[in-house]
Amino acid sequence: MKFEKIAAPKGVREYLPPESQAFEWVRQQLISPAKRAGYQLMELPVFEDTSLFNRGVGESTDVVTKEMYTFEDRGGRSITLRPEGTAGVMRAVIEGNLDRGQLPVKVWYSGQFFRAERPQAGRYRQFYQVGIEAIGIDDPALDAEVIAIADQGFKNLGLKNYRLEITSLGDAQSRAAHRVDLMKFVSKLDLDEATRTRSEINPLRIFDDKRPEIKEAMQSAPILMDYLSDYSRDHFEKVKSYLDALGVSYTVNKRMVRGLDYYTGTTFEFVHDDLGAQSGIGGGGRYDGLMEVLGGQALSGIGFGLGVDRALLAAIAENTLPVQDFNSDLFIIPLSLDEKAYVLNLAQEVRRAGFAVEVAFGDRSLKGAMKGADKSGARFVAVIGESERESGDVELKRMSDGTSIRVKISELQKVLEA
């Protein structure tokens, strides 16, 4: 009987060697600035109670109405694969009482997220984000630092062809004032039922509509930035001046609307110019009402999510991935069965000294094993036979130029360090 192959589900992005090494490098570079700024890891479930996202992300969003992977579990509960990270962090902060301790609560996370979008280059149904959230302090300096941390992540990758766009979505007072005029404007438009319903839940959504006729009509719509309360305006001015002080360049995009409903005040997006339609490499902002909506205290929050898949595509487009970094330092070939245990031990020892070491397995010819060594990309290769074991010397071949040196096995580490 012949079994059929099974393919990965449609639209998922997975990373196999050697690409996975580049992916992991990108992920580490993106998140390292947050770790250095005192953010701490949060490991959260990839599925949550569906109501968390309905309430947290918002009923007017595409994410909630069209894109969630929702199913009933065996206990009849409605479960959803997380489409984003902020709502889950907030749930965990409330549940774990972190908001009763030192503020701001500063956490980072990394993992898979799920949205049933139409797959295309840079848009997947399972994708990867790293993100941070800073909860409980409303200080424009914090907003600027959060943005600068994201920016540093992209700089770590060596990216240049990207822009930061910022806006303010105002506080409740700003939004209420804007809503009155916007609803008046929208009521004059010829909208279908679904769009009208969305606009009633969150009128800002219509700015996000991709249809040309609606885009055109919205050109003359009242803009939230013109309705900012004194508090929101002053807050935003301060964020901008801190960004200036930090040397983080930005443009103000008065029409920016993000795909999630919880945003208030400072909101931002990083856009890469070489990626085509899916150009958003990261985004975030304040969400000052979210904790309360999820049953917690009325505390503020700000954070970002960076798209690791798209950041990798950007690094490939700008050719900034390091070439060498991923290979091991030493590849050891045992000449016969008698040397295997010795070689395994030696490999462990050199690894303990901090080097990456691979061993040749199987009973291949020396030629075959050398081929394997070559393919591995290791810096050095050592062949160990009986005479090496006895003399304690080994011939170390430098793969970059093919030259060999004879060294004492006990001094291997010194050579590798050089």
Taking the CB of residue 10, how many other CB atoms lie within 10 A of it?
9
Q: Is 198 exposed, middle or buried (0-12, 13-18, 19+ CB in 10 A)?
A: buried
Alpha-carbon distances, residue 51 vs 77, 192, 331, 380 (angstroms):
11, 27, 53, 56
What minimum distance in Å lies between the beta carbon of 87 and ligand HAM?
A: 8
Is 281 a binder of ligand HAM (CB under 6 A)? yes
Is 305 a binder of ligand HAM (CB under 6 A)? yes
The residue type at 123:
R
Residue from the set 33, 104, 265, 284 that interacts with ligand HAM by CB under 6 A: 284
2 CB-near residues (< 8 Å, 6+ apart): none
The C-alpha angle with vertex 33 and arms to 31 and 37, in degrees rounded to 5, equals: 120
* Region of 94-102, 116-124, 194-202, 315-323 interacting with ligand HAM (CB under 6 A): 116-124
Is 280 a binder of ligand HAM (CB under 6 A)? yes
Residue from the set 259, 265, 334, 372 that interacts with ligand HAM by CB under 6 A: 259
Using the minimum distance from each CB to ligand HAM, give the nearer residue, 222 or 282.
Answer: 282
Is 108 a binder of ligand HAM (CB under 6 A)? no
Q: For residue 150, what are its two tokens?
A: 């994201």
Using the minimum distance from each CB to ligand HAM, give the nearer residue, 58 or 282.
Answer: 282
Strand order across the 330-334 sheet? 357-359, 330-334, 380-384, 393-398, 404-408
What minimum distance in Å lies between the beta carbon of 110 and ligand HAM?
A: 12
* Region of 25-33, 119-127, 179-187, 211-219 interacting with ligand HAM (CB under 6 A): 119-127
Instruction: Residue 283: name the closest of 153, 120, 137 by CA.
Output: 153
- Which residues inside 132-151 make contact with ligand HAM, applying CB under 6 A? 133
What minimum distance in Å lies between the beta carbon of 418 and ligand HAM?
A: 41
Residue from the set 58, 283, 289, 334 that interacts with ligand HAM by CB under 6 A: 283
What minimum distance in Å lies between the beta carbon of 294 and ligand HAM?
A: 14
Q: For residue 399, what are its two tokens?
A: 């793969």
Per-position DSSP letters for 251-314, written without gaps between them = EE-TT---SSTT-EEEEEEEEETTSTT--EEEEEEE-TTHHHHTTS-S--EEEEEEEHHHHHHH
Using the minimum distance from each CB to ligand HAM, give the nearer residue, 67 or 388.
Answer: 67
CA distance linking residue 219 with residue 214, whole number of Å: 9
Return the residue nearest ligand HAM (CB atom): 307
- Which residues inside 48-87 make contact with ligand HAM, applying CB under 6 A? 84-86
Q: Is 395 exposed, middle or buried (0-12, 13-18, 19+ CB in 10 A)?
A: middle
Region of 76 on the Ramachandran plot (φ > 0 left; ψ -120 to 50 alpha; else beta):
left
Is 303 a binder of ligand HAM (CB under 6 A)? yes
250: helix, strand or coil: coil
Is 131 a binder of ligand HAM (CB under 6 A)? yes
Is 124 a binder of ligand HAM (CB under 6 A)? yes
What minimum distance in Å lies between the beta carbon of 97 and ligand HAM?
A: 21
Q: For residue 363, what are its two tokens?
A: 């009973």
What minimum distance in Å lies between the beta carbon of 137 and ligand HAM?
A: 15
Is 117 a binder of ligand HAM (CB under 6 A)? yes
Do the Cβ atoms of 113 and 69 come closer than 8 Å? no
245 CB-near residues (< 8 Å, 6+ apart): 144
Is 153 a binder of ligand HAM (CB under 6 A)? no
Using the minimum distance from each CB to ligand HAM, give the nearer residue, 122 or 334.
Answer: 122
Residue from the set 110, 129, 199, 300 that interacts with ligand HAM by CB under 6 A: 129
Residue from the set 151, 261, 309, 329 that interacts with ligand HAM by CB under 6 A: 309
CA distance linking residue 418 with residue 320, whole number of Å: 25
* Region of 276-284, 336-344, 352-360, 381-389 interacting with ligand HAM (CB under 6 A): 276-284
List residues near ligand HAM by CB under 6 A: 84-86, 115, 117, 122-124, 127, 129, 131, 133, 259-260, 280-285, 303-305, 307, 309-310
